[in-house]
């Protein structure tokens, strides 16, 4: 599918618009205020000075690049994605497609180690580096969730982070590789070189919180509530953070889960490493009582993460699945 370029659609509506960049080394109370504002207005922000070591990121990135550089036959040994493992072009189970290949892994060590022999020549090293990355990124995600709870003024400051710290948390790691235009020729794409092709179509993430780190190649865009797509400039030193559906439900709609997509329009290939922070399957998701008032009545009925996940996989990528859980 080809979409008009966000910068050449004849409108200058999106000029000057940018998503918040939050410096985590600033005063804690100010940071939590800025994060809450960003989650309410955009459901999306970038963090800098986040404390995840460059080495941990670089090691994880190298594992991903080495894997995607393998011959196709080798990569397919780590698939098909049902729903975890290696996949190419096909996303989910209901016909969604994109110009992307990916590796989807569950974040617990047992699950990583069962897969790693199909992914790397040195499975023990792969296990070690992925676990290191997962640990660092989970800590950052928990820190951000604690800052959100503080900024919202809820009493139990770890009410959100506890769900993804749980040993049974259903969190995922996803490596996405979007080929450059040149590579796409090998992928037998008949579309013209300079058109904007969909790498990953418009959607919101079902989980609580997503943390994405990419190389220096752009393509990620976030939808504003007026329908304008804002391109996110790539910054390999930052993490992009977005609110997922489960956090929208927990905050009774105060936070918005951000709709986003990725376009492939570059001569360089893009690789992103994405962490999706999710609760355990049996955990209940229901709006925090402190965020339910006479003015803001309860928007969503309680559901388990398992129930939500099942619904997610039964629908298309772009569907607004949280609407099915509304109280009215
Ligand atoms: C979007 C967020 C994560 O990448 C993901 C995706 C999952 C998949 O690629 O298998 C889904 C998609 C995501 C939402 C709707 C369903 C499920 C593809 C799809 C069509 C791993 C996730 O958890 O949900």
pLDDT of residue 186: 57
Cα-to-centroid distance, 155 and ligand 1 (Å): 32
Tokens of residue 57, six digits: 């990121």
pLDDT of residue 180: 86
What is the distance between the alpha carbons of residues 176 and 102, in angstroms, rounded to a whole number?
A: 4
Cα-to-centroid distance, 203 and ligand 1 (Å): 9
pLDDT of residue 115: 87
pLDDT of residue 225: 85
Residues in the chain, overall count:
328
Cα-to-centroid distance, 205 and ligand 1 (Å): 7
Residues 6+ apart with CB under 8 A from 171: 106, 107, 134, 138, 164, 207, 275, 276, 277, 278
Domains recognised in the chain with CATH numbers: 21-181+195-325 (2.60.120.330)
**Dihedral sign, CA of 280, 286, 290, 295?**
positive
Contact of 263 with 196, CB cutoff 8 Å: yes
Instruction: Name which of 255, 213, 265 is nearest 235 in CA terms.
Output: 213
For residue 321, the ligand 1 atom closest to its alpha carbon is 15
Q: Report ipTM (2 d.p.).
A: 0.99
Buried b (16+ CB within 10 A) or exposed e, 65-83: eebbebeeeebeebbebee
Instruction: Name which of 275, 274, 273, 266 is nearest 217 in CA terms.
Output: 266
What is the distance between the alpha carbons of residues 236 and 233, in angstroms, rounded to a whole number?
A: 10
Reply yes or no on whether 165 is catalytic: no
pLDDT of residue 227: 87
Q: Which of 270, 301, 316, 321 is catalytic?
A: 270
Cα-to-centroid distance, 172 and ligand 1 (Å): 10
What is the distance between the alpha carbons of residues 37 and 43, in angstroms, rounded to a whole number?
A: 9
Closest protein CA for atom 11 of ligand 1:
92
Opening angle at CA 12, ends 10 and 15, nearest 5: 140
Instruction: Name which of 254, 243, 255 is nearest 206 in CA terms.
Output: 243
Q: What is the pLDDT along the chain (328 residues), one digit of tens a residue?
A: 444 434 333 333 333 468 999 999 999 999 999 999 999 999 999 999 999 999 999 999 999 999 999 999 999 999 999 999 999 999 999 999 999 999 999 998 888 888 899 999 999 999 999 999 999 999 999 999 999 999 999 999 999 999 999 999 999 999 999 998 767 655 555 555 556 799 999 999 999 999 999 999 999 999 998 889 999 999 999 999 999 999 999 999 999 999 999 999 778 999 999 999 999 999 999 999 999 999 999 999 999 999 999 999 999 999 999 999 999 8
pTM of the predicted protein model = 0.93
Q: Which residues line ligand 1 (CB under 6 A)?
A: 83, 91-92, 94, 96, 104, 172, 174, 203, 205-206, 276, 312-313, 316-317
pLDDT of residue 1: 40
């Amino acid at each position: 599918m080809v979409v008009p370029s966000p910068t050449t659609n004849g409108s200058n509506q999106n000029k000057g618009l940018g998503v918040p960049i939050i410096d985590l080394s600033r005063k804690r109370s100010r940071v939590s205020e800025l994060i809450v504002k960003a989650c309410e207005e955009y459901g999306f922000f970038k963090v800098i000075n986040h404390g995840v070591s460059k080495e941990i990121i670089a090691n994880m990135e190298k594992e991903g690049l080495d894997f995607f550089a393998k011959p196709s036959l080798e990569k397919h040994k780590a698939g098909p994605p049902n729903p975890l493992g290696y996949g190419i072009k096909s996303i989910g189970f209901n016909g969604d497609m994109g110009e992307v290949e990916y590796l989807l892994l569950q974040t617990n060590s047992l699950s990583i180690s069962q897969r790693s022999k199909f992914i790397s020549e040195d499975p023990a090293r792969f296990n070690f580096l992925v676990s290191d990355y997962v640990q660092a990124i989970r800590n950052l995600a928990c820190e951000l969730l604690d800052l959100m709870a503080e900024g919202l003024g809820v009493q139990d400051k770890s009410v959100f982070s506890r769900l993804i710290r749980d040993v049974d948390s259903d969190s995922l790691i996803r490596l996405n590789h979007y080929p450059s235009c040149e590579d796409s020729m090998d992928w037998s794409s008949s579309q013209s070189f300079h058109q904007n092709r969909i790498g990953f179509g418009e959607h919101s993430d079902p989980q609580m919180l997503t943390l994405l780190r990419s190389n220096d190649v752009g393509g990620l865009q976030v939808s504003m509530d007026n329908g304008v797509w804002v391109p996110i400039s790539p910054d390999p030193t930052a993490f992009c953070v977005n609110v997922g559906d489960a956090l929208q439900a927990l905050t009774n709609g105060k936070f918005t889960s951000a709709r986003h997509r990725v376009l492939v329009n570059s001569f360089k290939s893009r690789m992103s490493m994405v962490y999706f922070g999710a609760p355990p399957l049996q955990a209940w998701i229901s709006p925090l009582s402190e965020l339910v008032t006479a003015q803001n009545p309860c928007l969503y009925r309680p559901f388990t993460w398992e129930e939500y996940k099942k619904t997610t996989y039964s629908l298309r990528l772009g569907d607004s699945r949280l609407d099915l859980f509304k109280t009215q």
